[in-house]
Amino acid sequence: MNNEIAELKQIIEDSDNIVFFGGAGVSTESNIPDFRSENGIYNAVNQYGYPPETMLSHTFFKIHPDIFFDYLRKTLIYPDAKPNNAHIGLAKLEKMGKLKAVVTQNIDNLHQMAGSKTVYELHGTLYRNYCVKCHKQFDIDYIMNSEGIPHCDKCGGIVRPDVVLYEEGLDDTTVYNAVNAIRKADVLIVGGTSLNVYPAAGLIDYYRGNKLVLINKSTTPYDRRANLIIRENIGQVFKEVLDL
Continuous H helices in the chain: 3-13, 24-28, 38-48, 52-55, 58-63, 65-71, 85-95, 110-114, 140-145, 172-184, 234-242
Paired sense of beta strands 137-138 and 119-121, if any: unpaired
List the catalytic residue out of 58, 64, 87, 123: 123
The backbone torsions φ and ψ at residue 154, rounded to the nearest 5 degrees and listed phi first, read -105, -50
Residue 138 vs residues 38, 68, 126: alpha-carbon distances, Å = 32, 18, 10
95 close to 19: Cβ distance less than 8 angstroms: no
CA atoms within 13 A on the CB side of 32: 22
Is 123 an annotated catalytic residue? Answer: yes
Distance CA 13, CA 8 (A): 9
Reported as half-sphere exposure (CB side, CA atoms, 13 A), residue 76 has a value of 25
On whether the CB atoms of residues 73 and 79 are closer than 8 A, the answer is no
Q: Which residues of 142-178 are buried (b: 16+ CB within 10 A; e: fewer)?
A: ebeeeeeebebeeeebbbbbbbbbeeeebbeebbeeb
21: number of Cβ within 10 Å? 30
Q: Active-site residues: which are they?
A: 123
